[in-house]
Every structure is written in structure tokens, then in C-alpha cells.
Structure 1
Amino acid sequence: MSLRIGFTGDVMLGRLVDDRQRSRSVDAVWGNVLERLQALDGLVINLECVLSTRGREWQRTRRPFHFRADPDWAIPALEEAGVDVCALANNHVLDYEEVALRDTIDALDGAGIAHAGAGATIGEALEPAVRTIGDLDADADGSNAGDDGELDVAVVSLTDNTPEYAADNDSPGTARIEIDTDDLETRRRVREALEHARETNPDLLVASLHWGPNMVTEPPESFQEFGRWLVEDGVDVIHGHSAHVFQGIEVHKGSPIIYDAGDFVDDYRVDKQLHNDRSFLFVLAVTPDGRPTELRLQPTEIDGCAVHGADPEAAAWSRKRMRDLSEPFGTEFDRDGDALVFSLEE
């Protein structure tokens, strides 16, 4: 008996994706992966853009890229895929300044999509996203409960990117930290976020981290130390992203550390060696009491500003690369169809 929660890398719905979506169905951005997404009990993404048509490009520092999507199609698209939680602590939530960040939060709130990692103040940015997933239609006495039950999930969202986007006590922005377990301010801020999450009494606690530079295939030692520290402090799953390419997976004390989930949807130029257009849908099986039992990696690729199940050649490339990148962590996968899978049960 288990529930299945999907985790994706960056979902960037702006620029060419936004342009194309104005003339195609709202679900087109999910390609042939849509049914897989809809079959999940929960779905957590990193939303790598703002949802707004207002505001102007960030003026206070020079920035090469600015991402936004029209919420009139983007919100229905997120709803169609069954997105439950958007991580917002990243380097694009203020691309169109404060008004667009407020529009994004309002649009997600209006759709009932939980979010974490950004807000009007640092206090708001540190608040967790909280969702109950599973059979929500059961009678109060559980007599009509499905086989899978329910699961209370709390997600905290943090980033080390873009210092100018950091929230403080009086200004909006992100929950920004340094990825350094010896940094006292980092330890204080992370533990504040985790304490807020624990106050909701979740069955599963997730840390969604937008960390590190682009196009880097291996996490530095400081990230490895940080991920393990979070697990030892009670985090059940590390959901990493930012590099635009996937990285290896480590299991620490029974908890998966997805160092980077890569990209899921975007319009980015493709590096023919690193293949930032290839990644996975990461599906975690969890018991109703919050115990992760299995992680399944379903290969994906981006084409035509939409995500698709990877073709055989791309899937084989991604499986081999994930095996190679995960080997130093002692993580070994089994093959199940086109997917990689490993058990988290001892």
C-alpha cells in the first residue's frame, strides 16, 4: 500500500513556451507525459518563471534572461497536470519585479496550488507548502477509504541563487541561504523553515533546493554535506534543481537525495554533450505513514517546448548517465521497462 509523488526539475513556461501555448491546448505543454502526471497522487515542481502579464524587467542589476507566462493558460495547464506544490525559491521569481511575484502567488492561491520559497517577507518565504494527497473523498470514519489512504506533505523551498532576489523583513523575494553547514545564519534560517514545517505535523517532509550553477553534472562536496545534514535533521526527501542537467542520486539513512532533477519543460538551447533537454520524472512511492519505499525514474525529453517520454535512444543515454553519476554514491538501479528503479527499503 503506497502513494506516488512525482518530482520534476525546472518548469519554465515563459518565452517561446508561452508564445506556443497561446495557440495550442493548455495540456499540450505536457506532451505524452500528461497521463503519467495525472495518475500520480501528488506532484511537486520547481516553477522557473512568474505567472503574470504585468511588471517590467528587473532593473536593479543586469540580468540576461527574464521568464514569465500568462496565467490565463499557465494556471489551467498546471491544474490539468495535477500540480500540487510549486517551489518558488529560485532565480526568476522577481524577473518582472514585485508586482509579478504578487500576481504569481495570487494566481497559485486562487487555483489552490500550494507554494513555498518566496513571499512578501522572509517570514512568508520560509513558510512551508502543505498538502494532503491521496484518497481525499473517504468518509470521516475511513469506511470508503481507498487502498492508498492519505498523506500529509510539507515542502520547504530554499535557494542559494541570486542574492538580489532575497527577501528580508520588509521586502519580497526568496528564502535565500548559503549552502554551508557551518554558516550560522544558514543553520538558523533552515531550522526556522523546518520548524514551521514540523508544526503542520507532516507525514513526509521535503526540502526543495534551487542550488548551484548551471550545466554542472556533479554536486560539490558542500552540497553533499548539506543534503546529508538536512536528512539527519529530519528531512525525508531532497528535491534538488538549478543545474539544468540531472545529477546523481544518493540515499542517506533511507532518504533519497536527488541532487538535481534537471529540466522538465523549457525553450532553452540544447548542449549536445550535456543534453539539458533530457531528464526524468522522479516518482517516489511512500507509505501512508510517510516512509519512502521506492524511487522510480521515468526518462523524459523536451521537444517543441513540451515534455515527452524519451525516445529509446535518449532513454538509454539518460539511464546510463544516471547510473554513472550515481555510482560514486553507491546507488545501484534496476531496470523496469524504460525506467530505472531502486528500493529504499532495507
Structure 2
Amino acid sequence: MLWYTIAMGKGYYDQEHWTDKVNIKKFFSKPQTVAFLLTFFIVLAVGIPVLLVFGNFKHSNESYQQGLFANKWEAIPEASRATNAAITDEESAHRAAVIFEGDEDYTHIIGTADEETVTIGFAGDILFDDGYAVGDAFKRAGNTAEGVIGQSLLEKMRGVDIMMVNNEFPYSNGGSPTEGKTYTFRARPETASILNTMGVDVVGLANNHAYDFGRQALLDTFSALNNVGVDYVGAGNNIEEASHPVYYITSNGMKIAIICATQIERNDNPDTKAATEDSPGVFRCMNDALLLEKIREAREKNAYVIVFIHWGTESTSEIDYLQRDQSKEIVEAGANLIIGAHPHVLQKIDYVDGVPVVYSLGNYIFNSKTLDTCMIITTLHKDGGVNIQYVPAIQSGCSVYEATGAEYTRALNSMASMSPGINIDGNGYISPR
């Protein structure tokens, strides 16, 4: 009883004669008592429903849902389970946090915006060469993404814990264009700072344009990226560097491995040179034995393994047989997520034996054509749940912006129609059908 509690708290309580100490009528006639009681009952009337709303966070083996006042994440209807991604006991948490011998130069300790998750963003092809219209747009903007990439997309790129794009050109003032190649790209080294304004943390260099101006331009690229603090994967001074995963160990106890490789060009003597034991180049994977080995090694180190791969046929939304066949091999080796680039247009999203495969991210900000594109946001939860969100965007007129309204609905429906193996909800979250 309220007066029992008040009297006891004041030191008035006498088990047998408490009424001798307290004049009930006088007590309830005091203004401060009335104010206290009104406040107390208002708190009860308002506080309990609010607590129930905040308590509407349901966590099960199959889904994550958040209540009305979720402070960070949107309602997430589906969450697949990531084998070996969960940090559920002391032993696995310790193994994930270990930096293994040989990984020291490739491992980064990072903080996360949320203590229960880590978010990873992916976007497709970018170009900063100001000899082309889109590169000139960045130059006219003052070597910044502001005004070239839409603000809501920039906020998403900057908001994720790890952001990755396909860097389809070298940074250099030197070298010579590859003889006989129709399109050769090269951007000034100082333009690498544009990546910082985009919120980019790591770029993929395993593609068919990283070597457009030869060996020296590729080496200059490594220096330019190092100078602005952006990690790179898929190329290196030798095959060990080019094929080595980049690891991110999060402050909340998760490990992510990103491996980047290219099938392109698909011939015996490609213009884009493969790294060897003693020469620089990219990590080529037409023969994927080394790629599969690197995947298995990363999984053994308790990492969530992402393969960022350059593959497919340009300018078609249809996947080809090499994508189909190699995706199965990559999954069997232990990859948790496959992200593809190269076709310059979007291709389907699918699941291969339970593993999500984004076959092509398309152009992100690469030319002036009007094309559908996207950002992929992957949210890894500490217990192993994984959410993947497709964020529709439009590349048009040397800019890229997030799709809204009717454009959003059309773009979402377009991806759903080309991806019969998935469900995609109104917020862009995907799950296997």
C-alpha cells in the first residue's frame, strides 16, 4: 500500500500503532501529497504502455523484429542464419579475435555503430578519370562526392561500418595505355580522396581495368590508396598480397574476411596481368583453385567470408554458365556471401545452397547512362543472423541517387522479377523463396 510505503520510508512505521504516528486525513489533505499521487498514477498510466512498446523486440532463431521506437534499425522481417558467423561461446569468440600469423598486415580492428551488429555496404563500378564525363563531374564538384552522389545514398554509405566499391581504374600520372584496348582508364592520384567523402573503407582492384596503364600505374594505385587510408583487395605486389583476404575484427567480437578475384578477361593472355610470386598484378580466378583455398582458410579462422568477384558478360542481365558453375564451387568452399561486378548492369540476386549471391551490382557512378543500380547493405548479428537489404538507386546524367516513390517501386519490382529465387519485401530486405 502506498501510505504504508511512504510512512515506512519516513521512519513513521510502528507495526502495532502506526495510526498513532500518522494522521491519515491530514496526510491526504497536504498539496504535496496530492501532487505526488497524481504524478505516480500518471507515470503508471503512461510508463507501462511505453515499456511494453520498447519491450516489443522479439528475437528468435528465424527473425529479428524491432518495436515502434527502434533507435537504429528498420523492422527486419527475415534473417538467414550464417554458418560459422555466430560468436556464441568463449572459444569461438577467442578464435575470431585472434590475428593469425601472416595476417597482421591485412587485419583491421574497427568499432561498430551498434554493439550487437556490424553493417557492410557494397556498391558497384566507379570511375574518377576526368577524361570521361563522370570523372569530370567529380572534378567540377571539387574532388568530392557531394553533389554527384545523392545525399541519402551518401548517408547510407557513410553510416555502415564497412563500405566497399569496385574501383575500376588505376590512380596514376604515369604509365602507358594498354595497346589495342578500346577503353583505358586512369585517374589522378589526388582523386583517391573522393573515396573518403563517399565513406569508402575498402575497394576491389581485381577487375579488367586496374592494369590499364601497366605495372607502374598499378603500383601507383597502391600508394594513392594507402595515402588516403583506404584498404584494397584483389591486387598486390605479388600473388600472396593479391590473393590475401582483408580481415576486419569488430569491437563486438566478429571477424569478416573479404576476398576479391576476377575471371575477366577470359583468355590465355589477358591484358590485365595476373600477380605472380615475384610480379605485381591482380588475383585471377578462371582457375579457381587458389581462390577456393583462400576461402577455406578464412573460414577456418572463424570469419564470415565475403567473395567480391569480377565475372559475367557485359551489358546483359542474364548470368552465364561460368558464374553459375563457379558460384557453386565458391559456396562449397565455405563462402558466406558472394558479391559480383563487371556486367555494368544489374543481374539477379539468388541463393545457392542457402548462401546469398548478388550476381552483379551494375554501374554505381561510372558513366552518364540512365540505369538502375543499387547499394547492398548486409547486417551481421552477433548470434549469426544475417539480413541483406537491396537499396534501389538510379545512375543518370553523371550522378547517382536513391530511388524514391514510383521509381523505387518500379526498381524494386524489376529486381524481384529477375530474381525468382528470392522474396524481397517493401523495404528491400531479401530472403530465400
TM superposition score category, shorter chain reference: 0.7 to 0.9
Q: Distance in 1 between matches of 2:122 and 2:356?
A: 12
Contact preservation (8 Å) 2:296, 2:334: no
Equivalent position to 2:411, from 310, 313, 318:
318
Within a 5 Å distance, the mapping from 1:147-296 to structure 2 comes to: 149=252, 151-162=254-265, 163-167=270-274, 168-178=276-286, 186-195=287-296, 197-198=298-299, 201=301, 203-268=303-368, 270=369, 277-288=371-382, 291-296=384-389
SS at match of 2:415: helix
Does residue 79 (structure 1) correspond to residue 172 (structure 2)? The answer is no
CA distance in 2, matches of 1:243, 1:187: 20
Residue pair 1:212, 1:242 contacting (<8 A) in 2 also: yes
Q: Is the 8 A contact 2:374 2:393 kept in 1?
A: yes
Q: Point out the more displaced range, 84-93 or 301-310.
A: 301-310
Q: Are positions 1:53 and 2:147 aligned together? A: no
Partners of 1:49 and 1:202 lie apart in 2 by 33
User: % of aligned pairs identical?
Assistant: 28
SS at match of 2:309: strand
Alpha carbons 2:211, 2:273 under 8 Å: kept: no
Q: Normalised by the size of structure 1, how large is the TM-score?
A: 0.82
Alpha-carbon distance in structure 1 between the residues aligned to 2:363 and 2:393: 9
Q: Distance in 2 between matches of 1:315 and 1:104?
A: 36
Q: Rate the CA distance shift 1:341–1:66 in 2: closer, same or farther, 3 A.
A: same
Conserved 8 A contact 1:18-1:70: no
Partner of 1:335: 426
Cα pair distance change 1:8/1:58, threshold 3 Å:
same
Q: Give the AA of the match of 1:13.
A: F
- 1:23 and 1:248 map into 2 onto residues whose CA distance is 34
- Which one has a larger percent strand, Structure 1 or Structure 2? 1
C-alpha contact 1:246 1:261 (8 A) present in aligned 2: yes
Contact kept, 8 Å, 1:13 with 1:265, in 2: the verdict is: no
Structure 1 79/253 Cα, relative in aligned 2: closer, same or farther at 3 Å? same
Give the C-alpha shift of residue 311 in structure 1. 4.5
Q: Which amino acid aligns with 2:257?
A: A
CA gap of 1:203–1:122, structure 2 versus 1, over 3 A, is: closer
Cα separation, partners in 2 of 1:17 and 1:264, compared to 1, 3 Å: same
1:287-335 CA distances to partner (integer Å, 9 max, x unpaired)?
136x3521111111123422211243433332122111111xx211111
2:400 to 287, 290, 307: 307
Q: Give 1:21's aligned amino acid.
A: F
Question: What per-residue deviation string (whole Å, max 9, x for no partner) do you get for residues 17-73 of structure 1?
Answer: 3322223141223232211111111111111111222222123xx11111122231x
Give secondary structure in 2 for the equivalent of 1:232. helix
8 A contact 2:313–2:320 mirrored in 1: no
What secondary structure sits across from 2:271 in the alignment?
Answer: helix
1:97-154 deviation line (CA, Å, top 9, x unaligned): 1111111111212333221111222232111222345xx5xxxxxxxxxxxx353221
Aligned 8 A contact 1:114 1:131 in 2: no
| Equivalent residue for 2:163, pick from 34, 39, 43 | 43
CA drift at 1:284: 0.8
Are residues 324 and 115 of structure 1, via their aligned partners in 2, closer, same or farther at CA, if it must alter by over 3 Å? same
Runs of 4+ in 1 over 4 A off after TM superposition: none
SS of equivalent to 1:278: strand
Partner of 1:69: 187
5+ unaligned residues in a row in structure 2: which ranges?
A: 1-115
Partner residue in 1 for 2:36: none
Secondary structure at 2:392 match in 1: strand
Report the CA distance shift for 1:295/1:104 in structure 2 as closer, same or farther (over 3 A).
Answer: same
Q: Structure 1 stretches of 5 or more lacking a match?
A: 137-148, 179-185
* Superposed displacement of residue 217, structure 1: 0.6
Partner SS, residue 176 of structure 1: coil
Alignment correspondent of 1:34: 154
For the aligned residue pairs, the C-alpha RMSD in angstroms reads 2.2
Q: Structure 2-normalised TM-score?
A: 0.66
Query: What letter is aligned with 2:320?
Result: P
Letter of the aligned partner of 2:282 in structure 1? Answer: T
Please list the CA deviations of residues 68-107 of structure 1 after superposition, one character each: whole Å capped at 9, or x if unmatched: 22231x3222112221221111010011111111111112
Corresponding letter in the other structure for 2:174? R
- Whether the aligned pair in 1 keeps the contact of 2:154 and 2:199 (CA below 8 Å) is no
Secondary structure at 1:104 match in 2: helix
CA distances 1:146-201 after superposition (whole Å, capped 9, x unpaired)? xxx353221111111122313233432211122xxxxxxx24222343255457x3
SS in 1 for 2:254: strand
Q: Secondary structure at the match of 2:145?
A: helix
Query: How do residues 9-20 of structure 1 correspond to structure 2 at under 5 angstroms?
Result: 9-14=124-129, 15-20=132-137
8 Å contact 1:126–1:157 — kept in the other structure?
yes
Q: Tell me whether 205-214 or 63-72 shows the greater mean CA deviation.
A: 63-72
Between the aligned partners of 2:233 and 2:327, the Cα distance in structure 1 is: 19
Aligned 8 A contact 1:120 1:172 in 2: yes
Which structure is larger by alpha-carbon Rg, 1 or 2?
Answer: 2
Letter in 1 for 2:285: I
The letter of the residue matching 2:423 is E
After alignment, is 259-268 or 124-133 more displaced?
124-133
How many Å apart are 1:255 and its aligned residue?
A: 2.2
